[in-house]
Amino acid sequence: MMPRVYLDYNATAPLLPEALEAAVPYYTSNWGNASSIHRQGREARVAVEEAREQVAQLIGAADARDLVFTSGGTEAVNLAIQGYAFGNRSRGQHIITTQAEHPAALDTCRALEQRGFDLTYLPVDGLGRLDPEVLAGSIRPQTILLTLIHGNHEVGTLQPLAALVEVAHVRGVPVHVDAVQAIGRVPLDVAAFGIDLLSLSGHKFGGPKGVGVLYIRAGLAATMQAIVHGGHQERQRRAGTEDVPSVIALGKACALMSQRLGDECHRLEVLRDHLEHVACSRIPEVRRLGNSADRLPNTANLSFAGVKGEALVFNLDLLGIAVSTGASCSSRQGVPSQVLAAMGVPPETSEGSVRFSLGWGTTDEQIERVLDLLPPTIQRLRLLSPLP
């Protein structure tokens, strides 16, 4: 059997072996609760705080105490948006976001609407970007927060973040960045951008599942409300026994990414561009979706005319290649991609789109194998297709 190829890193990524290795002792020999005062507990605490420093370094947070460990990206995004909204409700009830968000942010915003908040879902351009002018026009005196995704999960588009943050800050509106797909893939420095809140997830770039982080700029935390109550952990921002091994693994993954990010970013970009370029040259009628410039180095979203994305994905799976259609990290299947719709992509193009997302385990050979198998698969599906 041929080795299988996994190109669905935007859904989830394998754990970096070094990260697992760092975590194992905390499963086997030092299983202490980081809140205990005995030796095992104190050792666990030291390790957790080291991991916090490692994450802080990757995202450019000056003070690791501004980081809150959560159970993942979804909880971090919820804590950012819900926590800030409910904590600052007296100042206003208007929140701005975009139409191209991940369900974590989108569903949280919808839930806030049901609880009386006023939400504006700004349109994005054909490449998935929010125009700073459009943002400027939507800010009101009651606006308390802007939340937007940087590094779109479906098409990889990066936002013009510096310009957007500036527009928001000039009008006194803090910014939450859903950086779940961006962290560990592109350099992103919270201090340099002046980001107020930033969510990240462990399992998208080589850390473990079940752990994420919310960065809260100093001074903002006091205004926020917790979602999970019941203990003094995480400076009362998130109760619950710390998942020590996962936190250690996340810290290690961040430390490795701090060292490798430049090289890895370049390596993936070259591989991804090669995949796109050769696929487009070997296959007729392929459309590339999303921005060709400012985007995640690992993501390609290609639409093949006359082919159903789902059919292609299943056929590639039979050949041992894992890719996905649209937002596969959502459990809602068969729903047309909202991101592509927001970008104005026509439904027939959207239905023929497939996401290829690369990561640390992706090799040249794997990409070549995909490039060998993709054209005949498309050709076969097009012959079978009832579409014109």
- CA–CA separation, 118 and 154 (whole Å): 26
Known catalytic membership, residue 329: yes
Q: How far is the CB of 83 from another protein (least distance, A)?
A: 11
Please check whether residue 72 is in contact with residue 211, taking contact to mean a CB–CB distance below 8 angstroms.
yes
Q: Which residues contact 10 (CB under 8 A, 6 or more apart)?
A: 153, 154, 181, 204, 298, 299, 324, 328, 329, 355, 357
Contact status: 119 vs another protein (CB under 8 A): no
Of the two residues 239 and 373, which places its CB atom closer to another protein in the complex?
A: 239
**Residue 336 engages another protein in binding (rule: CB under 8 A):** no
Within positions 211 to 250, which residues make up the interface with another protein, using CB under 8 A?
211, 227-232, 239-246
DSSP state of 329: T
> Which residue's CB is nearer to another protein, number 332 or number 383?
332
Catalytic residue among 109, 254, 265, 329: 329
CB closer to another protein, 165 vs 179? 179
Rounded least distance, CB 374 to another protein, Å = 15
Least Å distance between CB 26 and another protein?
A: 9
Round to the nearest angstrom and report the end-to-end CA distance of the chain. Answer: 36
Regarding 27 and contact with another protein (CB under 8 A), the answer is yes
- Of 64 and 227, which has the nearer Cβ to another protein? 227
Cβ contacts of 312 within 8 Å, gap of 6 or more: 304, 352, 354, 377, 378, 381
CA 305 to chain centre: 28
User: Could you say which of 63, 189, 285, 317 contacts another protein (CB under 8 A)?
Assistant: 317
Q: Mask of contacts with another protein, 35-74, x by CB under 8 A?
A: xxxxxxx----------------------------xxxxx
Nearer to another protein, 240 or 306 (CB): 240
- Residues of span 166-205 touching another protein by CB under 8 A: 201, 203
DSSP string, 223-235: G---SS-SSSGGG
304 phi and psi angles, rounded to 5 deg: -105, 115
- Interacting residue with another protein among 4, 140, 266, 277 (CB under 8 A): 4
Distant-in-sequence, close-in-space partners of 356: CB < 8 Å, separation ≥ 6: 7, 272, 275, 299, 300, 301, 302, 323, 370
Helix (H) or strand (E) holding 5: strand 5-6
Active site (catalytic) residues: 329
